[in-house]
Amino acid sequence: MWNEQKSFFSSSETGTLFVVPTPIGNLDDMTVRAINTLQTADLIAAEDTRHTKKLCHKFEILTPLISYHEHNKEERGRDLLERLGRGETVALVSDAGTPAVSDPGYELVQACTEQGITVVSLPGPNAALTGLVASGLQVQPFLFYGFLPRQKKEKTEALESLLNREETVILYESPHRLRESLTLLASIAAERFVVVARELTKQHETYIRGTAKELAEWSGTESIRGECCVYIAGNSDPIKHDEPAWWSLQTMKEHVETYIKEGMQSKDAIKQVAVDREIQKREVYQAYHVED
């Protein structure tokens, strides 16, 4: 049997878990609703309480803080569920961006949904979507992957499989692993279009756009600082066809001759050139024989 959550008309005695995004670099991105929610919650569960304390200070939030992170999520998750069960309101925050997106939170949200505790997700800052929109790559469909595995073998396998996808692929990457990841990417698909979005929402926000090979070269010339997202064009994104075709500097005759040299019959070579150039076979035939 399904269950229905009416977020703001709950008849149950249990509390609500608010998932509250926080800025990814620019404090002005803190929403009015996020401030109000943090001010009125009974408790804020934060990935790093010292970090969130600064945010609270800036926005005059006096709500008590408790830590909820990768290493205490089981035990602390049980405490939080118990408090939510008693009717308390808990606001969940991570260090930056939207909790549960490559950050702690998913298990707590899942446990709440299983126990009939209302979960309200506030819209707000998120690095993946912020950069996707300005990347210039197809926005949908997209596939959010997050961090690649650390080990080379698993990382290569993950990239090979992601490169077969039609969707724009979104990766999170740390600055000190970016060069290695771009070099690996270039070794698998040198011509694939890639965008790196760095320091989003900050003063030094930068987008670097180009083929995997070009970005690998760029990463060798830069000392990379600041957080970044990597966007890989899907394998059907027209942007990757922007590079000139290999035959673009050849005459039609040279183009036909290249195929003949590769072993094609002249008839087939003419047909293939017509396909490549999206023109009539007759035109290629004439150009080939007239120039002869």
Q: Is 20 in the site for ligand SAM (CB under 6 A)?
A: no
Nearest to 167 by CA among 198, 135, 199, 190: 135
Binding region for ligand SAM (CB under 6 A) out of 211-219, 225-233, 253-261, 283-291: 225-233
Q: Which long-range contacts (CB under 8 A, 24 or more apart) does 9-12 make?
A: 10/118, 12/116, 12/118
**How many Å apart are CA 29 and CA 147, to the nearest integer?**
24
Binding region for ligand SAM (CB under 6 A) out of 36-44, 52-60, 83-91, 125-133: 125-133
- Nearer to ligand SAM (CB atom), residue 24 or residue 117: 24
- Nearer to ligand SAM (CB atom), residue 13 or residue 70: 70
Least distance to ligand SAM from the beta carbon of 61, Å? Answer: 19
- How many other CB atoms sit within 10 Å of the CB of residue 108? 26
Q: Is 127 in the site for ligand SAM (CB under 6 A)?
A: yes
- How many other CB atoms sit within 10 Å of the CB of residue 107? 13
**How many Å apart are CA 110 and CA 192, to the nearest integer?**
37
Q: Is 128 in the site for ligand SAM (CB under 6 A)?
A: yes
- Nearer to ligand SAM (CB atom), residue 106 or residue 246: 106
Query: What are the structure tokens assigned to 83, written together?
Result: 């408090």
Least distance to ligand SAM from the beta carbon of 124, Å? Answer: 9
SS3 content of the chain, % helix, strand, coil (to 5): 45, 15, 40
Q: Is 102 in the site for ligand SAM (CB under 6 A)?
A: yes
Least distance to ligand SAM from the beta carbon of 147, Å? Answer: 7
Query: What are the structure tokens assigned to 254, written together?
Result: 């040279």
- Nearer to ligand SAM (CB atom), residue 20 or residue 80: 20
Helical segments of the chain, H only: 32-40, 49-58, 73-85, 106-114, 127-135, 152-163, 175-188, 212-221, 252-261, 266-277, 281-290
Least distance to ligand SAM from the beta carbon of 111, Å? Answer: 19
The distance from CA 52 to its chain's CA centroid, rounded to whole angstroms, is 24
Q: Is 97 in the site for ligand SAM (CB under 6 A)?
A: yes
Least distance to ligand SAM from the beta carbon of 127, Å? Answer: 3
DSSP helix/strand/coil, 104: coil
Of 19, 20, 46, 96, the residue at the interface with ligand SAM (CB under 6 A) is 96
**Residue of closest CB approach to ligand SAM:** 97
Binding site for ligand SAM (CB under 6 A): 24-25, 94, 96-98, 101-103, 126-128, 172-174, 197-202, 227-229
